[in-house]
């Protein structure tokens, strides 16, 4: 068994996930990363510093056996699990009247059911000093036009996190949500060309730049560290003030 703290990070090969892996490894945490693509996970592993303790398992978190398989792999590789970062999910965005049952099933399955089942699988192996951090969204704090099931599921993750904080806090297991604004990654890059996106997101954000994956990763690493050990049941928005100020950025005022 390693003496390092050990974290499971889902969606580890994506923009935010990879930044979380890098931040945790930099803090000396051993990481088991998961994702659908073994090739992308292998590329991430190759890009990490040589002293980083990183292993990976290719898995679709929506598969029935995925939670048990992921937790078993972490225990086999490192002998313990201290942190779980629920980062993977589905980003389907549509109004309620245009949301099919297939879209419902996809988003609920990947963004709510899968994190719930992974929490359930990992909790028996956690103890004092452990942390569960789920990546939510500012659109779980407040709904948005055309948000539909996406906003509903992100709000559901807040409920899950708060009930786990109440249930398992006495065991030293803390549970929190990191709720970023739209983060600029290859997956979302095209949105920056649309005037409506610029008005709603950049225009109402009282900050001088967009949110980067590292902004999210730094908060996750803090919550997993001893410095965040008294933070439990919280929703921490990483949005430059978007969800609280409703102020028109001078770059877009006219």
Q: At what angle do helices 213-224 and 15-26 cross, to 10 degrees?
A: 40
Residue matched to tokens 């996970």: 41
150 is annotated as an active-site residue: yes
Extended strands (E) in 26-110? 30-35, 54-58, 83-86
Provide the token pair at 50: 């040589």
Listed as own residue / partner, the contacts of 204-209 with beta carbons closer than 8 Å and 24 or more positions apart are 204/242, 204/246, 204/247, 204/248, 204/249, 205/181, 205/239, 205/240, 205/241, 205/242, 205/249, 206/240, 206/241, 206/242, 206/245, 206/247, 206/249, 207/240, 207/241, 207/249, 209/240
Q: How many CB atoms lie within 10 A of CB 96?
A: 12
Please give the structure tokens belonging to residue 185.
């990654």
For the four alpha carbons of 169, 21, 225 and 124, in that order, the dihedral sign comes to positive
User: Which residue is catalytic, options 150, 168, 208, 230?
Assistant: 150
Q: What is the set of active-site residues?
A: 150
């Amino acid at each position: 068994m390693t003496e390092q703290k050990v974290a499971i990070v889902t969606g580890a090969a994506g923009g935010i996930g990879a930044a979380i892996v890098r931040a945790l490894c930099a803090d000396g945490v051993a990481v088991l990363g998961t994702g659908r693509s073994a090739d992308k996970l292998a590329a991430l592993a190759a890009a990490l510093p040589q002293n980083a303790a990183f292993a990976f398992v290719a898995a679709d978190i929506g598969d029935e056996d995925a939670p048990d398989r992921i937790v078993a792999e972490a225990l086999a590789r490192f002998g313990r699990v201290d942190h779980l970062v629920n980062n993977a999910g589905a980003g389907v965005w549509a109004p309620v009247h245009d949301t099919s049952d297939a879209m419902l099933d996809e988003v609920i399955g990947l963004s709510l059911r899968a994190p719930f089942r992974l929490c359930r699988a990992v909790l028996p192996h956690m103890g004092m000093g452990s942390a569960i951090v789920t990546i939510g969204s500012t659109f779980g704090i407040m709904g948005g036009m055309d948000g539909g099931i996406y906003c509903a599921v992100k709000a559901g993750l807040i409920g899950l996190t708060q009930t786990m904080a109440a249930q398992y806090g006495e065991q030293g297991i803390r549970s929190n949500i990191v709720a970023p604004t739209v983060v600029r990654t290859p997956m979302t890059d095209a949105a920056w060309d649309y005037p409506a996106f610029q008005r709603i997101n950049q225009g109402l954000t009282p900050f001088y730049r967009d949110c980067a994956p590292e902004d999210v990763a730094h908060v996750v690493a803090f919550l997993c560290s001893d410095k965040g050990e008294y933070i439990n049941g919280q929703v921490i928005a990483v949005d430059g003030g978007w969800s609280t100020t409703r102020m028109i950025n001078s770059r877009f005022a006219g």
